[in-house]
Amino acid sequence: MTPNDLRAKVLSVKRWSRADQRAPNKPLMMAYALANYIKGHGQMFSYEDEVDKDLHLLLKRFGPSRKIVHPEYPFWRLINDGFWRLDNAEECLPRKSNTDPPKSELIKYGVTGGFNDEAYQLLKSDTQFAMDLLQTILSESFPESIIPEITAQLGLEFTFRQVQKREPNFRREVLNAYNGKCAICGFDARLNDELFALEAAHIKWKQFNGPCSVNNGLALCSIHHKALDKGAITITSDMHVKVASSVNGGGIVESLIWDYADKKIHQPRQSNQYPLVQYFDWHDENVFRG
Ligand SMILES: [Zn+2]
């Protein structure tokens, strides 16, 4: 196996690269393993002592809002992707409804998992390759604004070099459509006539085929962009701000977030530039943590 072979296998992981719905289970499992290799962890991870708790936390924080998360799914299912290894898995019995074992079996038999021998040797002998692969996985799954939080949660203290392609047209068109103001709060600060802290946000993430078009964009200040990408807020189909009930903080949070709850956003002047309901629906279903 060459680094390119492994990279290709990782990029073709099922239910990830082409899926429209957010399914971050496998990307976060792989990112967890890679980050730990970079920090010096050995090849295999104990389901019971490590993955069950650590991946649960990652899925809760960075996955779609779900009552129950299943760290056991990607831990087990990556075996089908050609670079993952499971030990002590032979005797695990499947659940009635599936071919996967329940997590109780993984714990009972002390199952461990990790990249297979060939892949592990490649990653271990070339930390830069491991970091590049980690960056690829995260940037294919999450918007830029979220990635530093994930790497911090993974215990890594470096920032990735910027490799994502910028879309100057998208930014310009979106900011123009909204007249250079945050669609939520109207923020429009300029320094020497140049806007700052005003950004063009994708409603449906481009990682999930959200287009770089004005109808999938919102001009937002940095705070409201981050709140949108984190799922702290979403926009309803009739263009009102909805705030996740779990958002809390002091008075400044009241005025920056809660004061806009149920308020209508500022729309572009031209109706053909309005954001489309289908993208808000995607955001509500896959990102909003309401
Ligand atoms: Zn704003």
- 143 with 180, same domain: the answer is no
When divided into structural domains, the chain yields a total of 2
Q: How far is the CA of 46 from the centre of ligand 1 (A)?
A: 44
Mean pLDDT of the chain: 93
* Cα 227 to ligand 1 centre (Å): 10
Q: Which residue shows structure tokens 């695990």?
A: 92
CB 219 within 8 A of CB 182: yes
Domain boundary among 102, 127, 153: 153
What are the tens digits of pLDDT across the range 224-255?
Answer: 999 999 999 999 999 999 999 999 999 999 99
- Tell how far the Cα of 23 is from the centroid of ligand 1, in angstroms: 29
Please tell me the distance from the alpha carbon of residue 141 to that of residue 22, in angstroms, as a whole number: 8
CB atoms within 10 A of CB 19: 11
- Ligand 1 centroid – CA 26 distance (Å): 33
> pTM of the predicted model, to two decimals?
0.84
Ligand 1 centroid to Cα of residue 229, in Å, is 13
181 CA → ligand 1 middle, Å: 8
Question: Which residues in 37-50 are b (16+ Cβ under 10 Å) and which e?
Answer: bbeeeebbbbbeeb
The three-state secondary structure class of 61 is helix
Rounded distance from Cα 184 to ligand 1 centre (Å): 5
pLDDT for residue 94:
85
| Distances, alpha carbon 209 to alpha carbons 128, 147, 219, in Å | 28, 18, 19
The residue segments making up the domain with residue 183 are: 168-286
User: How many separate helices (H) and strands (E) can be counted in the chain?
Assistant: 12, 9
What proportion of the chain, given as a percentage, has pLDDT over 70?
Answer: 95
Q: Are residues 136 and 275 in the same domain?
A: no
Residue carrying structure tokens 């002091």? 250
- What's the gap in Å between 129 CA and the centre of ligand 1? 38
Phi, psi of 57 (to 5 degrees): -65, -45
Q: Ligand 1 centroid vs 201 CA: distance in angstroms?
A: 11
Q: How far is the CA of 251 from the centre of ligand 1 (A)?
A: 16
Residue 177 falls inside a structural domain: yes
pLDDT for 230: 95
Q: Determine, yes or no, domain membership for 145.
A: yes
Domain for residue 37, yes or no?
Answer: yes
Each of the 290 residues of the chain gets a pLDDT tens digit; together they read: 999 999 999 998 865 544 577 888 999 999 999 999 999 999 999 999 999 999 999 999 999 888 899 999 999 999 999 999 999 999 998 887 778 999 999 999 999 999 999 999 999 999 999 999 999 999 988 998 899 899 999 999 766 665 556 677 999 999 999 999 999 999 999 999 999 999 999 999 998 889 999 999 999 999 999 999 999 999 999 999 999 999 999 999 999 999 999 999 999 999 999 999 999 999 999 999 98
**CB–CB of 164/190 below 8 Å?**
no
Separation between Cα atoms, residue 211 and residue 134, nearest integer Å = 24
Query: Does 139 lie in the same domain as 187?
Result: no
What 3-state class would DSSP assign to 100? Answer: coil
Q: CB neighbours (10 Å) of residue 143?
A: 20
Residues in a beta bridge with 220: 199
How far, in Å, is the centroid of ligand 1 from the Cα of 4? 42
The answer to the question of residue 24 being in a domain is yes
Quick one: which H or E segment has residue 225? helix 222-230
pLDDT value, residue 17 = 47
In this structure, are 130 and 44 located in the same domain? yes
Distance from Cα 93 to the centre of ligand 1, integer Å = 52
87 and 175 share one domain: no
Q: What is the pLDDT of residues 17-49, one digit of tens each?
A: 445 778 889 999 999 999 999 999 999 999 999
Looking at the DSSP assignment, which residues form a beta bridge with residue 144? none
Q: Are both 230 and 258 inside the same structural domain? A: yes
Whole-number Å distance, alpha carbon 58 to ligand 1 midpoint, is 28
Span from the CA of 183 to the centroid of ligand 1 (angstroms): 7
Strand, helix or coil for residue 85: strand
DSSP string across 248-288: --SHHHHHHTGGGTTPBPPPPSSGGGSPPHHHHHHHHHHT-
| 285 CA → ligand 1 middle, Å | 22
Backbone angles phi, psi at 34, to 5 degrees: -60, -45
Ligand 1 centroid distance, CA of 179 (Å): 13
Q: How far apart are CA 155 and CA 41, in angstroms?
A: 12
Between CA 282 and CA 213 the distance in angstroms is 16
Answer yes or no: do 184 and 148 share one domain: no
What is the distance in A from the centroid of ligand 1 to the CA of 41? 42
Q: Which of 153, 180, 209 is the last residue of a domain?
A: 153
Q: What's the CA-to-centroid distance between 21 and ligand 1, angstroms?
A: 27
